[in-house]
Amino acid sequence: MDKENNVNPMNNLSDELTLSILIKKWAIELGFDLVGFAKADTPINYSHYINSIENSYHAEMEFLSSSIELKKSPTKIMPECKSVICLAIFYNPPVPEDYSGINSDYAYISRYALGMDYHLVLNKLCKKLIAKIKNEIDANIITMHYVDTGPIIEKSFSSMAGLGWIGKNTLIINDKYGSYMFLSEILINLELEYDKPSRPKCGNCRICIDSCPTKALIEPYILNSQLCISYHTNENRGNVPNNIKSKLKTKIYGCDICQEVCPYNNKLSTTSHKEFFPKSGIIRKNVSDWLSISELEFKDLFRDSPLKRLKYIGFSRNINNVMQTI
């Protein structure tokens, strides 16, 4: 992060609107599908987030409960911050119609994890956008960026920036892209033309809540991770409780049911970002087909995948858990 403070970002630009238009143009040209700006302020549902932590709905994910004070405002992270540039990429991969977390005969890996790790892709694009901003406007501009890693409540800021609303399944939902979006943020010391917050559009619908096999969505907008299949197959490094095991069916990594049933995810196109296309050989495999994978094969196949964090021991545990119940 550049710490110089003698920045005059408007030297060659007339106003915040012009600057904002340029940044949006550059973001789309680089490959982002959505971009919006929010004021560096307290996130809209900060108190809701705190309540969730106090109720231990984050389970053992300490990264969610840490740095609470920093999450109160981007200025706590970067005192010079004036705006949050919110960015999103649509990732819905091309998969067969019968590839589903709801009721699939095949081993199920969450759609977001079928291709390359989104952290790698979005981090690279954020760096390119920052370089473009500094090269075209002022090299002394101060920035920090995050891809689902820092002390920023990204879904709140994405909603504040107009990228979508927070749905009852706790995910950001966009009219065009549904909820299949990866998010990232750039904190910047520039005043921008802030976008209007997204208006909630879930209405009376509660299909995501009613469809969750473990009732992890305990009420609208509240997810108890201790009951969530995705948490237990992605983040939990210990034993998976029997009440979760019994609901796994063929899910060896992730779930997606609360997304697949969402009306805003019906009839979506597939992503144009080929980095998120399924890796060869991981679709239409039976759970038993994964039993023979060696640690070396696992590392080679998933070297740039979200599954890399799970490690071979965690993947093997998931396979064995599913085999016990099918």
- Number of alpha helices (DSSP H) and beta strands (DSSP E) in the chain: 12, 10
Max intra-chain CA distance, the chain: 65
Cα distance between residue 147 and residue 131, in whole Å: 17
**Token pair belonging to 197:** 């917050």
**Which positions ≥6 away from 15 have C-beta within 8 Å?**
none
Pick the catalytic residue: 148, 210, 289, 300?
Answer: 148
**Token pair belonging to 160:** 């504040």
DSSP character at residue 226: G
| 213 neighbors 244 (Cβ within 8 angstroms) | no
DSSP string, 266-323: TTPPPPS-GGGSPPTT-SS--GGGGGG--HHHHHHHTTTSGGGGGHHHHHHHHHHHHH
Q: Is 175 a catalytic residue?
A: no
> Active-site residue numbers?
148
